[in-house]
């Protein structure tokens, strides 16, 4: 069972504001999720072939140069461009 304090710590790390009432509701749901995930370790996968290997074939392609755009073409559909670069709003305070 997960405690309210553990959920508070996780919410803090994730920078999620959660009030005390929501935390108490979340404890049960979080515990169920962890119990389910824990049950997955009991599944016998000894006869199952791995499918996440990048060398399985067809996953990687050769790195070859393709069509190149001029700077003007690349910026032609940009909502905002300044001094030859894409201009975006500041995202870090």
Give the CATH number for residue 17: 1.10.20
Q: Is residue 72 part of a domain?
A: no
Instruction: Compute how many other C-beta atoms are within 10 angstroms of the C-beta atom of residue 52.
Output: 6
Q: Is residue 84 part of a domain?
A: no
Backbone CA torsion sign across 55, 56, 62, 66: negative
Q: Is residue 50 part of a domain?
A: no
Note whether 32 and 13 are within 8 A (CB).
no
Q: For the chain, how many structural domains are there in total? A: 1
Q: What is the pLDDT of residues 25-80, one digit of tens each?
A: 888 888 899 899 999 889 998 888 877 655 555 556 788 888 899 999 999 999 99
**pTM score above 0.75:** no
Range of the domain at 18: 4-40
Closest CA to 84 of 53, 74, 92: 74
Q: Is residue 88 part of a domain?
A: no
The interaxial angle of helices 20-40 and 4-13, nearest 10 deg, is 90
Q: Is residue 29 part of a domain?
A: yes
Q: Is residue 68 part of a domain?
A: no
Q: Is residue 93 part of a domain?
A: no
In this predicted structure, the answer to whether residue 1 has a pLDDT above a threshold of 80 is no
């Amino acid at each position: 069972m997960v405690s309210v304090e553990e959920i508070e710590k996780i919410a803090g790390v994730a920078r999620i504001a959660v009030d005390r009432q929501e935390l108490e509701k979340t404890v049960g749901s979080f515990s169920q999720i962890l119990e389910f995930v824990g049950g997955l370790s009991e599944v016998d996968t000894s006869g199952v072939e791995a499918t996440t290997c990048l060398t399985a074939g067809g996953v990687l392609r050769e790195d070859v140069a393709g069509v190149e755009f001029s700077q003007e073409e690349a910026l032609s559909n940009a909502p905002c461009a300044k001094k030859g670069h894409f201009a975006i709003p500041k995202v870090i305070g």
